[in-house]
Structure 1
């Protein structure tokens, strides 16, 4: 209980740290932490463990942790994997609250590594000492001098301190962040490389820093969404405390899509799932590494929105070409650059400023005068039509940095809309001046657009039940189309009228009129068109009999003699449009719902949106609005309107598959879901599901 209670304090604020396996050579990886701790002025006790030496770098060394005069609060293990496991067990016996392990050689390292991993798992299962790593390059608290890291970048002198805490899957990247941050005048409170996250995850570590008043925001470099529940819990708690979170996420692979049998799986690939997960956690995702470094000062000034916000930006500039680059990058990311209203232009004219008529307020050379730029910024920041004001500063930012950016620095101190600055030339001195004054500044048009879009699109996190990411207890099976319709009906979703026929029997009277469609009904043939198992526009019983014979022959030909035992006959219905509506359990974040352009071109158009399940009706309406093709269903150019209310209800219904009784729905898809005219509902006209028994 004692260890569980105090690991959070010992993580970043230990009184005594021990270095196990530290080298006598300070230039070596295992020798750096001692050197860094001394150079940074760490005020706590530093204990050295090296069984082969009596002194290390001129300081006394002890043969083991057990021989130390006092129990350390935090141990940094720098040895090879086998010795590291010995040290971790020793930490456990002594009651050390937390250890960080640099060592590699576990699950990634062949048969011997797998044996090491099994031993590590057994140690961690006993509880007690919490672990960062393995393969962690360390943890840093810049405010206390805790340089418990082997990253060579921390030899850099005079690293600026600030309020940003960094959690990173990459060890080398924490060094890149501090060095680039120093160039921009951006300081950090602490940084951690989490390594393999075999115990403590990024979410848990960041959560442990909430009570530190020096931590004001969070920066995440993610390679995976391991322990997504802890990450989400941290993000929600951060939002409650007004501490924004930004993330740069690697890994745009299709590995998750390979697990699926439906179009939904390919649409909900690893990156798409990560994008919606981060969004619903209230985490601002940037697309560039430089954007990650520059976005947090902006996030601290632009609050997250409780509802959807596209973002309206007013731009004032001294260089039209430079501003145009920033405007273009913002527009590509869905941000609206809006012109000043007539009321705002009148105020500009009253201040002696040429208000112009364009979307951008281009002050040209007049804008290099302090009074002109300062007045323009004050007026724009007071205007209600903007969510953000961006000042684009030209060459003077490099050659006269104090004069060029002083209007923005002074204007930002007063009340009004958040202000940011885009520096067109390479102007490091101006960048540092703005950073020191707390004014968000951008050095590249691409990162300017990236960061502004991330900030303006950030929403408050959505509270959901705990993520259901457990693996199925039973093997899964694919349902045929008729069984899938029955599953959908249980959630309240209607399908087009249909019957199941035996191809060896005469065609009976149908309970619905012609025309109809005939399809092979077989759980082993989820994509019926590819197998030649579909015939459309059948207008009589005779045509239906011929169609059944044709399907039987084509399926046997294309699928090596496969025998057709059942045919589904469905009434053909016309609608105003088609969508795909899908559900699947993602292995990292749990149940998700996908809405996409429907029909055979789903994967070509890639017009899709998704949400974590369950989806509220408000969320379903947002999903429909996200879909570009949904405008066709909303009376585009005076055309008839589709039943979008019924489509929203269908989205909610499909999201309820996460709670289906008797079976666990692994994935399901309706493609297409036919959207009828307004007031007439929606109909599933093809579908499949994969389930496992609960």
Structure 2
């Protein structure tokens, strides 16, 4: 998959949204219930760095600041203008600003009449606009705050297609002690897009983790190209998206489309870009807290350290469900830990302090130190009461905070992560841990899930872009599709086209029974009665041909030698150009029951042979290909070749919304044979007459 260019205008054109020398809020208000008040209040907080102007038709002072009735009445032309006036007045304000030479606009107002034409006027003048319908903009590094709500400086950048979802992410991040480095609500994206804003974060020094919320990926290839650049710059990206519904699958014409939901396609794009999709805002912030920790988690081996046997067991269960491993500790390490704890303590993993914490808070640090320096685990998940001592007993508050500081020093010393689940996650000791770079969570499920997500993202490579091959036209029919696949090295059974009895008789002389008869123009042949298999001889095939042609009408039918090899597994290899996300390839359990099995793996196309093999081995049905219960193993190389070939074709076909599918691909010890193929394309695009002559 190739990285498209960043697109849009150069990054320098977005500097006005990073650190403008002057800002004007048009529609400023003294009413705390109005947007204009929040924008004015936030903008004025940056007066030490830039000049701030408030514009309102009513005049008077707002927040102790004199106002002007129009932009033209200001003593200077502002760099950035935030527009928060009723929708009918937006265009006059922007036209006035363009006449003055304003170069940046933040459009807050929703429902602006003819907004696209207005945005075109802005860009034609060499200016830029974020919005309209934006919730605002915040940059901690430059003290720029033109948005609804309050923000605490931190390390998480948020780019959100929904202002309210972005606001929720910011609030959750602040509660987690993470804070915000940059916040942008992209609004309608009539000019500045998510991809532009993501690219603009690659050199944003205050940002260490990026959160992206998207309701659609019409510009997905550019978005994920920017995500890859962020990952290469050392800034991991977490993606939250809407639209994981079955509605698209219900309308699908191919098995491949029916088997890949919108969310699965986003997952595919995330894997290729080295990003991670998360299910909820809370989950996103949890993983971000681990990624932004002083020592982020790396590796799946964890030790569970608890002051309760029950909580330790539950933490270990959560870790297992989240794909982490809780290895048994060596006898040497277990003995070292046992020397620190009462005889009743468990020292295998999970480690149970068995009341040692109540006797001496320093036991938490002593055991955590032994685990982290051992090299036997990659991280420690501490679960239970720590953080609660000071909340329940003021006399213990100081000692607990001292112990929190000692614990927080361990990850820095040993280069391995500490993640804490605390029953006192809102207390001072927990806050101190967060301040010192140790993530703290109120539930063990959140702690384990966050640790797992951070580890998964750390281990996820950025797929290097493949050189783009020259585009070719998609084939226009079944036989042309079959020819493309044959040319790519896909094996098909011997077959002949037949339109009448004379051609049928000629085909009998050249093919070996048993036969298969098909109406190849049909998309779902089984349901339409457009395929007959197991035709033992010419007589049976003739009867089937007469019956099928009488029912389906004249057309170019297919008479084919039936693949009757033993020890064969039926798979599906399909590919599509997903709107906005580009080409993807899918491999999975195939045949007429493909949707029942729903056992597929999808990746961005094209894939290498190594990537194709990894896809195949991730399938639940993979054991059927590797010698299940003594059966001979399938020729995996031929299957790998088919996946690679289909992925390369879909990446080269010109146009969007094209689908290419082999189902089933019968894979046995002596190779893979495609016994049906399908290509679908838009009716107004190349290759739209996809299924042969009728």
Structure 1 118/165 Cα, relative in aligned 2: closer, same or farther at 3 Å? closer
Does residue 544 (structure 1) correspond to residue 541 (structure 2)? The answer is yes
Q: Structure 1, residues 247-303: CA drift from partner, whole Å, max 9, x if none?
A: 222221346557752111122221111111122211122223212122223224599
- What are the superposed Cα offsets for residues 435-487 of structure 1, whole Å, 9 maximum, x if unpaired? 1110122222332333223212221321325999xxx999x88733x432212
Picking from 205, 209, 212, the partner of 2:204 is 212
**Bigger mean CA deviation after superposition, 137-146 or 81-90:** 81-90
Aligned residue in 2 for 1:48: 54
How many angstroms apart in 2 are the aligned matches of 1:102 and 1:126? 21
The CA distance in 2 between the partners of 1:404 and 1:582, in whole Å, is 56
Looking at structure 2, the residues matched to 19 and 571 of structure 1 have their Cα atoms a distance apart, in angstroms, of 74
Partners of 1:638 and 1:404 in 2: how far apart? 58
Query: How far off is 1:567 after superposition?
Result: 3.2
Quote how far apart the aligned CAs of 1:604 are: 1.8
Corresponding residue number in structure 1 for 2:306 = 317
Unpaired runs of 5+ in structure 1? 107-112, 557-561
Question: 1:69-84, aligned counterparts within 5 Å?
Answer: 69-84=75-90
- Whether 1:518 aligns to 2:517 is yes
Distance 1:386 1:285 in 2: 26
- Which of 530-539 and 399-408 deviates more? 399-408
After TM superposition, the structure 1 = structure 2 runs for residues 490-569 of structure 1, keeping only pairs within 5 Å, are 490-505=487-502, 506-508=504-506, 509-522=508-521, 525-553=522-550, 555-556=551-552, 562-569=553-560
1:348 and 2:340 are equivalent in the alignment: no
Relative to structure 1, is the Cα distance of residues 42 and 217 closer, same or farther in structure 2, using a 3 angstrom cutoff?
farther
| Rounded Cα–Cα distance in structure 2 between residues aligned with 1:143 and 1:335 | 36
State which of 74, 77, 91 in structure 2 corresponds to 1:68. 74
1:20/1:75 contact within 8 Å kept: yes
Instruction: Give 3-state SS (helix, strand or coil) of 1:530's partner.
Output: helix
**Correspondence for 2:166:** 174
Is contact 2:472–2:653 with CA below 8 Å preserved after alignment?
Answer: no
User: How far does residue 56 in structure 1 lie from its aligned partner after superposition?
Assistant: 4.6
Q: Is the 1:42–1:146 Cα contact (8 Å) retained in structure 2?
A: no
Preserved CA contact (<8 Å) 1:517 1:572: no
658-667 or 280-289: which moved more? 658-667
Name the structure 2 match of 1:109: none
Match in the other structure for 2:568: 576
The aligned residue for residue 462 of structure 1 is: 463
Distance 2:655 2:24 in 1: 52
Once residues 546 and 507 of structure 1 are traced to their aligned partners in structure 2, the CA distance between those partners, rounded to angstroms, is 12
CA RMSD of aligned residues (A): 3.2
Aligned residue among 320, 323, 326 for 1:334? 323
Cα distance change, pair 323–80 in 1 and its aligned pair in 2 (3 A): farther
SS in 2 for 1:279: helix
Q: Which moved more, 1:282-291 or 1:353-362?
A: 353-362
Q: Name 1:362's counterpart in structure 2.
A: 352
With over 3 angstroms needed to count, the CA separation of the structure-2 counterparts of 1:383 and 1:286, relative to structure 1, is farther
Tell me by how many angstroms 1:100 deviates. 0.8
Q: Is the 8 A contact 1:348 1:376 kept in 2?
A: yes
CA contact (8 A) 1:167 1:194 kept: yes
- In structure 2, the partner of 1:110 is none
Asked if residue 683 in structure 1 is aligned to residue 673 in structure 2, the reply is yes
Q: How far apart, in 1, do the equivalents of 2:377 and 2:253 lie? A: 46
Residue 137 (str. 1) matches residue 132 (str. 2):
no
Give, in angstroms, the shift of residue 627 of structure 1.
1.1
Unaligned 5+ residue runs, structure 2? 1-8, 688-694
Change (3 A) 1:485 1:350: farther
Q: CA deviation at 1:632?
A: 1.7
Question: 2:690 is matched with which residue?
Answer: none
* Residues in 2 aligned to 1:327 and 1:76: alpha-carbon distance in whole angstroms: 51
Aligned counterparts, 1:270-669, within 5 A: 270-300=262-292, 311-342=300-331, 344-349=333-338, 356=346, 359-366=349-356, 369-394=360-385, 397=388, 399=392, 402=401, 405=404, 408-424=407-423, 427-458=426-457, 459-464=460-465, 479-480=477-478, 482-505=479-502, 506-508=504-506, 509-522=508-521, 525-553=522-550, 555-556=551-552, 562-574=553-565, 575-660=567-652, 666-669=658-661
* Deviation (angstroms), 1:349: 4.5
Change (3 A) 1:382 1:537: farther
TM-score, normalization by structure 2? 0.86
How far apart, CA to CA, are the structure 2 residues paired with 1:618 and 1:133?
43
Aligned to 1:192: 184
Out of 221-230 and 658-667, give the one that drifted further.
658-667
Secondary structure of 1:693's match? coil
Change (3 A) 1:314 1:495: farther
CA distance in 1 between partners of 2:510 and 2:294 (Å): 60
Shift of 1:57: 5.1
Contact 2:421 2:441 in 1 (8 A): yes
Larger mean CA deviation between 253-262 and 66-75 belongs to 253-262
Matched residues in 1 for 2:654 and 2:79: separation? 49
Q: How many residues align?
A: 660
Checking the alignment, whether the CA contact within 8 Å between 1:267 and 1:603 is kept in structure 2 is yes
